[in-house]
A = this chain, B = another copy of it.
Amino acid sequence: MKGLRRAMRDDDKVLIMGEDIGKLGGVFRITDGLQSEFGAQRIVDTPLAESGIMGTAVGLAYRGYRPVVEIQFDGFVYPAFDQIVSNVAKLHYRSQGTVKMPITIRIPWAGGVGAAEHHSESPEAYFVHTAGLRVVAVSNPQDAYTVLRQAIACDDPVVFFEPKRLYHAKGEVDLDGDIADAPPMGLARVARPGDDVTLLTYGAQVSTAMDAATAAEDEGISIEVIDLRSLSPVDYKTVTASVRKTGRLVVTHEAAREAGMGAELIASVTERCFYHLETPPVRVTGWDIPYPPAKLEKHHVPDLDRILDAVDRVLDRPNSLTGVEL
Protein backbone atom coordinates (compact mmCIF):
# COMPACT_ATOMS: atom_id res chain seq x y z
CA MET A 1 0.00 0.00 0.00
CA LYS A 2 1.49 3.21 -1.19
CA GLY A 3 0.27 5.22 1.78
CA LEU A 4 2.48 3.19 4.08
CA ARG A 5 5.59 3.73 1.99
CA ARG A 6 4.92 7.41 1.80
CA ALA A 7 4.35 7.70 5.55
CA MET A 8 7.54 5.75 6.22
CA ARG A 9 9.47 8.10 4.00
CA ASP A 10 7.96 11.23 5.46
CA ASP A 11 8.67 10.45 9.09
CA ASP A 12 11.39 8.16 10.36
CA LYS A 13 9.54 7.68 13.64
CA VAL A 14 6.97 5.65 11.75
CA LEU A 15 7.47 1.92 11.90
CA ILE A 16 5.29 -1.03 11.02
CA MET A 17 4.81 -4.08 13.21
CA GLY A 18 2.93 -7.27 12.62
CA GLU A 19 2.98 -10.94 11.82
CA ASP A 20 4.52 -11.96 8.50
CA ILE A 21 4.87 -8.41 7.23
CA GLY A 22 8.58 -8.71 6.41
CA LYS A 23 9.78 -11.17 3.82
CA LEU A 24 6.28 -12.32 3.08
CA GLY A 25 5.01 -8.76 2.75
CA GLY A 26 1.94 -9.59 4.83
CA VAL A 27 -0.70 -12.16 4.01
CA PHE A 28 -2.32 -9.53 1.79
CA ARG A 29 1.03 -8.29 0.49
CA ILE A 30 0.26 -4.81 1.76
CA THR A 31 3.79 -4.40 3.08
CA ASP A 32 5.38 -6.06 0.07
CA GLY A 33 8.84 -4.70 -0.57
CA LEU A 34 8.84 -2.40 2.42
CA GLN A 35 11.30 -4.43 4.42
CA SER A 36 13.85 -4.29 1.63
CA GLU A 37 13.47 -0.54 1.47
CA PHE A 38 13.30 0.28 5.17
CA GLY A 39 14.97 -2.65 6.88
CA ALA A 40 13.90 -4.99 9.65
CA GLN A 41 14.11 -2.30 12.32
CA ARG A 42 11.26 -0.37 10.74
CA ILE A 43 9.29 -3.23 9.21
CA VAL A 44 9.15 -5.49 12.19
CA ASP A 45 8.10 -9.12 12.01
CA THR A 46 6.70 -9.80 15.46
CA PRO A 47 6.16 -12.94 17.48
CA LEU A 48 2.70 -14.40 17.10
CA ALA A 49 0.95 -12.52 19.89
CA GLU A 50 -1.42 -9.65 19.31
CA SER A 51 -1.42 -8.37 22.86
CA GLY A 52 2.35 -8.36 22.63
CA ILE A 53 2.26 -6.40 19.41
CA MET A 54 -0.12 -3.85 20.82
CA GLY A 55 1.63 -3.60 24.17
CA THR A 56 5.04 -3.07 22.62
CA ALA A 57 3.51 -0.49 20.30
CA VAL A 58 2.37 1.37 23.41
CA GLY A 59 5.93 1.34 24.69
CA LEU A 60 7.26 2.54 21.35
CA ALA A 61 4.76 5.38 21.44
CA TYR A 62 5.91 6.24 24.96
CA ARG A 63 9.36 6.51 23.42
CA GLY A 64 8.19 8.86 20.68
CA TYR A 65 7.61 6.43 17.85
CA ARG A 66 4.51 6.21 15.68
CA PRO A 67 3.84 2.51 15.33
CA VAL A 68 1.57 1.24 12.60
CA VAL A 69 0.31 -2.11 13.79
CA GLU A 70 -0.99 -4.69 11.37
CA ILE A 71 -3.50 -7.15 12.77
CA GLN A 72 -3.42 -10.05 10.35
CA PHE A 73 -7.19 -10.54 10.22
CA ASP A 74 -10.14 -8.85 11.93
CA GLY A 75 -10.80 -11.90 14.12
CA PHE A 76 -7.35 -11.70 15.67
CA VAL A 77 -7.68 -8.27 17.18
CA TYR A 78 -9.44 -9.60 20.28
CA PRO A 79 -6.32 -10.86 22.06
CA ALA A 80 -5.11 -7.25 21.84
CA PHE A 81 -8.38 -5.86 23.16
CA ASP A 82 -7.17 -5.24 26.67
CA GLN A 83 -4.11 -3.33 25.55
CA ILE A 84 -6.26 -1.31 23.15
CA VAL A 85 -9.05 -0.45 25.58
CA SER A 86 -7.09 -0.01 28.79
CA ASN A 87 -3.90 1.48 27.45
CA VAL A 88 -3.91 2.62 23.83
CA ALA A 89 -7.25 4.39 24.17
CA LYS A 90 -6.74 5.74 27.65
CA LEU A 91 -3.11 6.70 28.05
CA HIS A 92 -3.43 10.23 26.76
CA TYR A 93 -6.29 10.81 29.15
CA ARG A 94 -4.72 8.90 32.02
CA SER A 95 -1.52 10.90 31.68
CA GLN A 96 -3.34 14.23 31.42
CA GLY A 97 -1.99 14.68 27.94
CA THR A 98 1.65 14.09 28.72
CA VAL A 99 1.85 10.78 26.87
CA LYS A 100 0.72 10.65 23.26
CA MET A 101 -0.40 7.44 21.58
CA PRO A 102 -0.08 8.00 17.84
CA ILE A 103 -0.69 4.36 17.01
CA THR A 104 -2.44 3.29 13.83
CA ILE A 105 -4.07 -0.12 14.01
CA ARG A 106 -4.68 -1.49 10.53
CA ILE A 107 -7.27 -4.23 10.36
CA PRO A 108 -8.05 -6.21 7.19
CA TRP A 109 -11.71 -6.40 7.69
CA ALA A 110 -15.09 -8.05 7.15
CA GLY A 111 -16.39 -10.81 4.98
CA GLY A 112 -17.59 -11.61 1.54
CA VAL A 113 -14.37 -13.31 0.53
CA GLY A 114 -15.22 -16.92 1.35
CA ALA A 115 -12.80 -17.14 4.26
CA ALA A 116 -12.58 -19.60 7.13
CA GLU A 117 -14.08 -18.77 10.52
CA HIS A 118 -12.66 -15.81 12.48
CA HIS A 119 -11.50 -14.26 9.20
CA SER A 120 -14.59 -12.20 8.42
CA GLU A 121 -15.33 -10.23 11.56
CA SER A 122 -16.75 -6.74 11.75
CA PRO A 123 -15.66 -5.52 15.16
CA GLU A 124 -15.83 -1.78 14.47
CA ALA A 125 -18.57 -1.00 17.00
CA TYR A 126 -16.38 -2.19 19.87
CA PHE A 127 -13.86 0.47 18.99
CA VAL A 128 -16.42 3.16 18.24
CA HIS A 129 -17.81 2.61 21.73
CA THR A 130 -14.31 3.02 23.19
CA ALA A 131 -13.59 6.64 24.05
CA GLY A 132 -10.07 7.72 23.22
CA LEU A 133 -9.91 5.92 19.89
CA ARG A 134 -10.64 7.28 16.46
CA VAL A 135 -12.09 4.81 14.01
CA VAL A 136 -12.00 5.06 10.24
CA ALA A 137 -13.07 2.71 7.48
CA VAL A 138 -12.06 3.12 3.88
CA SER A 139 -14.01 2.24 0.78
CA ASN A 140 -11.72 3.07 -2.13
CA PRO A 141 -8.05 3.27 -3.11
CA GLN A 142 -7.77 7.04 -2.79
CA ASP A 143 -9.02 6.99 0.80
CA ALA A 144 -6.87 3.99 1.55
CA TYR A 145 -3.97 6.19 0.57
CA THR A 146 -4.95 9.56 1.96
CA VAL A 147 -6.80 8.56 5.10
CA LEU A 148 -4.06 6.13 6.04
CA ARG A 149 -1.49 8.89 5.81
CA GLN A 150 -3.74 11.11 7.90
CA ALA A 151 -4.23 8.37 10.45
CA ILE A 152 -0.51 7.85 10.80
CA ALA A 153 0.06 11.58 11.09
CA CYS A 154 -2.63 11.91 13.75
CA ASP A 155 -1.45 12.19 17.34
CA ASP A 156 -4.30 10.00 18.54
CA PRO A 157 -4.71 6.26 18.16
CA VAL A 158 -6.66 5.38 15.04
CA VAL A 159 -8.26 2.04 14.26
CA PHE A 160 -8.08 1.77 10.51
CA PHE A 161 -10.39 -0.72 8.81
CA GLU A 162 -9.47 -1.98 5.34
CA PRO A 163 -12.17 -4.05 3.66
CA LYS A 164 -10.70 -7.29 2.37
CA ARG A 165 -13.30 -7.29 -0.37
CA LEU A 166 -11.63 -4.21 -1.83
CA TYR A 167 -8.01 -5.26 -1.76
CA HIS A 168 -8.18 -5.93 -5.44
CA ALA A 169 -10.04 -2.76 -6.26
CA LYS A 170 -8.15 -0.63 -8.69
CA GLY A 171 -8.53 3.08 -8.94
CA GLU A 172 -6.75 6.30 -9.69
CA VAL A 173 -4.82 7.55 -6.72
CA ASP A 174 -3.32 10.99 -6.44
CA LEU A 175 -0.06 10.21 -4.72
CA ASP A 176 1.34 13.68 -4.58
CA GLY A 177 -1.30 15.62 -2.71
CA ASP A 178 -0.45 17.17 0.61
CA ILE A 179 -2.54 15.53 3.29
CA ALA A 180 -3.19 18.95 4.70
CA ASP A 181 -5.10 19.75 1.50
CA ALA A 182 -7.19 16.60 1.58
CA PRO A 183 -10.52 16.63 3.39
CA PRO A 184 -9.83 16.08 7.10
CA MET A 185 -9.91 12.52 8.33
CA GLY A 186 -13.17 13.00 10.22
CA LEU A 187 -15.27 14.03 7.24
CA ALA A 188 -17.86 11.94 5.45
CA ARG A 189 -18.15 11.88 1.68
CA VAL A 190 -21.32 12.15 -0.35
CA ALA A 191 -20.53 9.30 -2.68
CA ARG A 192 -23.61 9.93 -4.76
CA PRO A 193 -26.08 12.76 -4.37
CA GLY A 194 -29.78 12.03 -4.27
CA ASP A 195 -33.07 13.40 -3.04
CA ASP A 196 -35.41 10.70 -1.84
CA VAL A 197 -33.52 8.55 0.62
CA THR A 198 -30.27 8.90 2.53
CA LEU A 199 -28.26 5.69 2.51
CA LEU A 200 -25.49 5.72 5.10
CA THR A 201 -22.71 3.23 4.99
CA TYR A 202 -18.95 2.66 5.04
CA GLY A 203 -16.27 0.26 3.94
CA ALA A 204 -17.03 -2.36 1.35
CA GLN A 205 -20.74 -1.76 1.74
CA VAL A 206 -20.29 1.55 -0.04
CA SER A 207 -20.00 -0.19 -3.38
CA THR A 208 -23.04 -2.34 -2.64
CA ALA A 209 -24.88 0.84 -1.70
CA MET A 210 -23.80 2.50 -4.94
CA ASP A 211 -25.12 -0.47 -6.89
CA ALA A 212 -28.37 -0.24 -5.00
CA ALA A 213 -28.61 3.45 -5.82
CA THR A 214 -28.04 2.74 -9.48
CA ALA A 215 -30.68 0.03 -9.46
CA ALA A 216 -33.12 2.31 -7.64
CA GLU A 217 -32.61 5.01 -10.19
CA ASP A 218 -34.24 2.77 -12.79
CA GLU A 219 -37.33 2.79 -10.64
CA GLY A 220 -37.16 6.55 -10.34
CA ILE A 221 -35.85 6.57 -6.79
CA SER A 222 -33.03 8.95 -6.06
CA ILE A 223 -30.73 7.72 -3.31
CA GLU A 224 -28.04 9.81 -1.66
CA VAL A 225 -25.20 7.52 -0.66
CA ILE A 226 -22.93 8.72 2.10
CA ASP A 227 -19.63 7.06 2.78
CA LEU A 228 -18.97 7.83 6.44
CA ARG A 229 -15.24 7.21 6.30
CA SER A 230 -14.92 8.18 9.94
CA LEU A 231 -16.96 6.07 12.37
CA SER A 232 -15.69 7.92 15.41
CA PRO A 233 -16.25 10.76 15.37
CA VAL A 234 -19.11 10.66 12.89
CA ASP A 235 -19.47 13.66 10.64
CA TYR A 236 -23.02 14.43 11.69
CA LYS A 237 -23.02 17.72 9.78
CA THR A 238 -22.89 15.92 6.47
CA VAL A 239 -25.23 13.20 7.64
CA THR A 240 -27.92 15.45 9.04
CA ALA A 241 -27.80 17.79 6.07
CA SER A 242 -28.65 14.84 3.89
CA VAL A 243 -31.41 13.49 6.12
CA ARG A 244 -32.94 16.95 6.45
CA LYS A 245 -33.11 16.98 2.68
CA THR A 246 -34.42 13.46 2.06
CA GLY A 247 -36.39 12.81 5.23
CA ARG A 248 -35.68 9.10 4.94
CA LEU A 249 -32.81 7.08 6.21
CA VAL A 250 -31.40 3.64 5.61
CA VAL A 251 -28.19 2.52 7.26
CA THR A 252 -26.36 -0.54 6.10
CA HIS A 253 -23.38 -2.41 7.47
CA GLU A 254 -22.13 -5.93 7.68
CA ALA A 255 -21.67 -6.08 11.45
CA ALA A 256 -24.41 -7.37 13.70
CA ARG A 257 -27.30 -5.06 14.40
CA GLU A 258 -27.59 -5.07 18.19
CA ALA A 259 -25.68 -2.08 19.59
CA GLY A 260 -23.88 -1.75 16.29
CA MET A 261 -22.85 1.28 14.31
CA GLY A 262 -26.32 1.49 12.75
CA ALA A 263 -27.85 1.89 16.19
CA GLU A 264 -25.54 4.81 16.87
CA LEU A 265 -26.34 6.44 13.56
CA ILE A 266 -30.08 6.06 13.84
CA ALA A 267 -30.16 7.21 17.43
CA SER A 268 -28.06 10.28 16.71
CA VAL A 269 -29.91 11.17 13.54
CA THR A 270 -33.24 10.74 15.27
CA GLU A 271 -32.11 12.97 18.11
CA ARG A 272 -31.04 15.62 15.62
CA CYS A 273 -33.47 15.37 12.71
CA PHE A 274 -36.58 13.89 14.25
CA TYR A 275 -38.88 16.48 12.78
CA HIS A 276 -37.42 16.03 9.32
CA LEU A 277 -37.90 12.30 9.25
CA GLU A 278 -40.90 11.16 7.25
CA THR A 279 -40.65 7.50 8.15
CA PRO A 280 -38.75 5.43 10.69
CA PRO A 281 -35.12 4.89 9.76
CA VAL A 282 -34.15 1.34 8.92
CA ARG A 283 -31.06 -0.74 9.47
CA VAL A 284 -29.89 -3.36 6.99
CA THR A 285 -27.16 -5.27 8.73
CA GLY A 286 -25.63 -8.63 9.28
CA TRP A 287 -27.89 -10.75 11.45
CA ASP A 288 -27.16 -11.07 15.15
CA ILE A 289 -25.20 -14.24 14.65
CA PRO A 290 -21.56 -15.24 14.59
CA TYR A 291 -20.26 -14.88 11.06
CA PRO A 292 -21.70 -17.83 9.15
CA PRO A 293 -19.79 -20.42 7.09
CA ALA A 294 -18.42 -19.22 3.75
CA LYS A 295 -21.04 -20.95 1.62
CA LEU A 296 -23.78 -19.12 3.45
CA GLU A 297 -22.22 -15.72 3.92
CA LYS A 298 -24.15 -14.22 1.02
CA HIS A 299 -27.25 -14.51 3.18
CA HIS A 300 -25.59 -12.56 5.93
CA VAL A 301 -23.80 -9.67 4.27
CA PRO A 302 -26.49 -7.23 3.18
CA ASP A 303 -26.76 -7.21 -0.58
CA LEU A 304 -28.42 -4.96 -3.09
CA ASP A 305 -31.79 -6.64 -2.70
CA ARG A 306 -31.87 -6.32 1.04
CA ILE A 307 -30.89 -2.69 0.77
CA LEU A 308 -33.55 -2.00 -1.81
CA ASP A 309 -36.10 -3.73 0.35
CA ALA A 310 -35.20 -1.32 3.15
CA VAL A 311 -35.40 1.59 0.74
CA ASP A 312 -38.90 0.47 -0.12
CA ARG A 313 -39.67 0.39 3.55
CA VAL A 314 -38.60 3.95 4.27
CA LEU A 315 -40.51 5.04 1.17
CA ASP A 316 -43.63 3.29 2.40
CA ARG A 317 -43.61 1.07 -0.64
CA PRO A 318 -44.49 -2.60 -0.42
CA ASN A 319 -41.63 -4.51 1.08
CA SER A 320 -40.86 -7.76 2.81
CA LEU A 321 -42.09 -6.53 6.14
CA THR A 322 -45.36 -5.19 4.85
CA GLY A 323 -47.89 -6.65 7.22
CA VAL A 324 -45.24 -8.02 9.57
CA GLU A 325 -45.44 -6.56 13.02
CA LEU A 326 -42.25 -5.08 14.46
Interface residues of A (CB under 8 A from B): 51, 75, 78-79, 81-82, 85-86, 89-90, 93-94, 117-118, 125-126, 128-132, 232, 255-256, 258-268, 270-272, 274-275, 277, 279-283, 287-290, 326
Indicate if the CB atoms of B259 and A125 lie closer than 8 Å: yes
What is the CA–CA distance of A132 and B121 in the complex, to the nearest angstrom? Answer: 14
Q: Which of A232, A267, A326 has the most CB of B within 10 A?
A: A267
User: Which listed residue, B75, B132, B260, B271, touches A290 by the CB 8 Å rule?
Assistant: B132
What is the CA–CA distance of A118 and B85 in the complex, to the nearest angstrom? Answer: 10
Could you tell me the distance in whole angstroms from the C-beta of A14 to the nearest C-beta in chain B?
A: 26
Copies of this chain, tallied across the complex = 2
Indicate if the CB atoms of A258 and B85 lie closer than 8 Å: no
* CB neighbours of A275 from chain B (8 A): 280
* CB neighbours of A280 from chain B (8 A): 270-272, 274-275
Indicate if the CB atoms of A263 and B258 lie closer than 8 Å: no
Given contacts A86-B75, A129-B260, A263-B259, contact A281 B290 (CB under 8 A): no
Indicate if the CB atoms of A94 and B117 lie closer than 8 Å: yes
Indicate if the CB atoms of A267 and B283 lie closer than 8 Å: yes
Q: Beyond A79-B81, A270-B270, list 11 extra A-B contacts (CB 8 Å).
A: A89-B290, A90-B290, A131-B287, A232-B258, A263-B266, A266-B267, A267-B270, A270-B281, A271-B282, A271-B326, A272-B280
Could you tell me the distance in whole angstroms from the C-beta of A125 to the nearest C-beta in chain B?
A: 5
Q: Which of A94, A131, A259 has the most CB of B within 10 A?
A: A259
Indicate if the CB atoms of A271 and B283 lie closer than 8 Å: yes
With both beta carbons as reference points, the residue of chain B lying nearest to A256 in the complex is identified as: B131
Given contacts A78-B81, A78-B86, A81-B82, contact A258 B93 (CB under 8 A): no
* CB neighbours of A289 from chain B (8 A): 93, 131-132
Indicate if the CB atoms of B274 and A263 lie closer than 8 Å: no
Of the A-B pairs whose beta carbons lie under 8 Å apart in the complex, a sample of 15, sorted by A's number, is A78-B81, A81-B82, A93-B289, A93-B290, A129-B260, A131-B256, A131-B258, A258-B264, A259-B264, A262-B267, A263-B264, A263-B266, A271-B280, A274-B277, A274-B280
* CB neighbours of A93 from chain B (8 A): 289-290
Could you tell me the distance in whole angstroms from the C-beta of A273 to the nearest C-beta in chain B?
A: 8
What is the CA–CA distance of A179 and B283 in the complex, to the nearest angstrom? Answer: 36
What is the CA–CA distance of A256 and B78 in the complex, to the nearest angstrom? Answer: 20
What is the CA–CA distance of A275 and B51 in the complex, to the nearest angstrom? Answer: 47
Indicate if the CB atoms of B290 and A279 lie closer than 8 Å: no
Could you tell me the distance in whole angstroms from the C-beta of A286 to the nearest C-beta in chain B?
A: 9
